[in-house]
A = this chain, B = another copy of it.
Amino acid sequence: MSTIALAPSAPSPADPALVRAIEQRTSVSLFAPDQPVAEAQIAEMVRLATRAPSAFNLQNWRFIAVRSAPAKARLRELAWNQPKVTEAAVVFIVVGAPPNPAEIADRLAPSIAAGFMPPHMPAAWSDFAQELYAQYPQTARDEAVRTATLGAANLMLAAQAMGLASGPMSGFEPDGVADAFGLAAAELPVLLVAVGHAAPGNWPQKPRRPVSDVLSFA
């Protein structure tokens, strides 16, 4: 299948270009307001976003690409009036849903069809998922945040890979965004990601804490 890029167990070569890409991503606030992003580019970003991992491959995310002027204006009101919401070409509302073990069979069917996953696997994963989320309900809610965030992380790198800039935002009214953009009751708006062409004057990547402050060994 065309979605399978790697032969099983192929060793990965080191990739200095990937190190540079991680080092060069910046959170952009200033966007050129008159440079649109094509619908095909938006779809390509989302295609790459969904290559992120998700628990049980549930892919419990979706992406609302906010492009129209009225929708952007409404979203900006719900996001503390941050200018990049209306100035960026597109703002993605990255939505997470609580995991539904009943969907695992459907999500894994292509892996069985591709020939690498044994047919009994979805039932085993579904049993594991049901037990996990029944025992730890907070894990189920967190899974919505986690999965959507993993998708958003890939989305930002995908934008970068396409020569575009991105700016993530967690400063918004969750209930207001859910209402205004028709989220289902169980869905959460997890992150807003503005994407577009950077305008002059953005800051470089902000310096980080020393590794020794955030790494320990056990």
Contacts and interface: CB of A to CB of B under 8 A. Distances in A.
Nearest to A25: B51
Q: What's the interface size class on A, roughly?
A: 35 or more
B146 A114 contact: no
A34 interface: no
Given A24-B12, A48-B23, A215-B43, A149 B154 contact: no
Tally of this chain's copies: 2
Given A12-B164, A46-B215, 19 more contacts: A4-B205, A9-B202, A14-B161, A15-B160, A17-B18, A18-B157, A19-B162, A47-B208, A47-B211, A51-B205, A62-B216, A63-B215, A65-B216, A107-B209, A110-B207, A117-B206, A142-B190, A145-B149, A150-B168
Interface of A: 1, 3-9, 11-27, 30, 39, 42-43, 46-48, 50-53, 55, 57, 59, 61-68, 71, 80, 93, 107-108, 110-111, 114, 116-117, 128, 132, 136, 138-139, 142-143, 145-146, 149-150, 152-154, 156-158, 160-165, 168, 170-171, 173-174, 181, 190-191, 198-209, 211, 213-218
